[in-house]
Amino acid sequence: MASLKFDENKAPYIDLGKDFCVRLEGDEYDDAKSKEKAERELRETPEVVAEAFKELRRRLQEEKSLYVPIDDDAFLVKFLRPCKYYPDSAFALMQRYYRFKQKRPDLCDDLLPTTVKHVYDEGLVFFQPLRDQHGRRILVLEVGKKMETLEGPAE
């Protein structure tokens, strides 16, 4: 059964057993195959990316009700990349994200690995130990499984 653990730097990871674990990977891909795939599937070219950041920042400066780290590329790319670097779509996604956080603080506040540890301990969420043929992680949700205890954001 998967369990949540912390490494020597206090970064969380999921121990899948049998020497398999899942960690957040902060490094960007840099191999030619991944770059070509990102360009083909996400329009991720230096020109498109630069223009998308510029336009999203412009939209955020005009929007006075959103307080976001406008100079933090790592934060903004979390919205741009899934929207294929279309800044209007990324801006709309960001608005929905913050609207959800505002409407459902019971699900979003204090959402840390330690506060949802029971979800992993009870086997409701787990990762396959190996990636698929395209290098993607596979997350399995046991949505029909009954929880032993109801606590925290998973209620």
Q: Kindly state the helix (H) or strand (E) to which residue 107 belongs, with its residue range.
A: helix 105-108
CATH 1.10.8 fits 32-103, yes or no: yes
For 110, residues 6+ apart whose C-beta sits below 8 A from its C-beta are 153
Does this model's pTM top 0.85?
Answer: no
- How far is residue 78's CA from residue 120's CA, in Å, rounded to a whole number? 24
- Residue stretches of the chain with pLDDT short of 70: 1-2, 24-28, 145-155
Q: What is the pLDDT of residues 5-49, one digit of tens each?
A: 788 877 777 787 777 777 766 666 778 888 899 999 999 999 999
Residue 120, SS3 per DSSP:
helix
Q: Where are the domains of the chain?
A: 3-26+106-154, 32-103
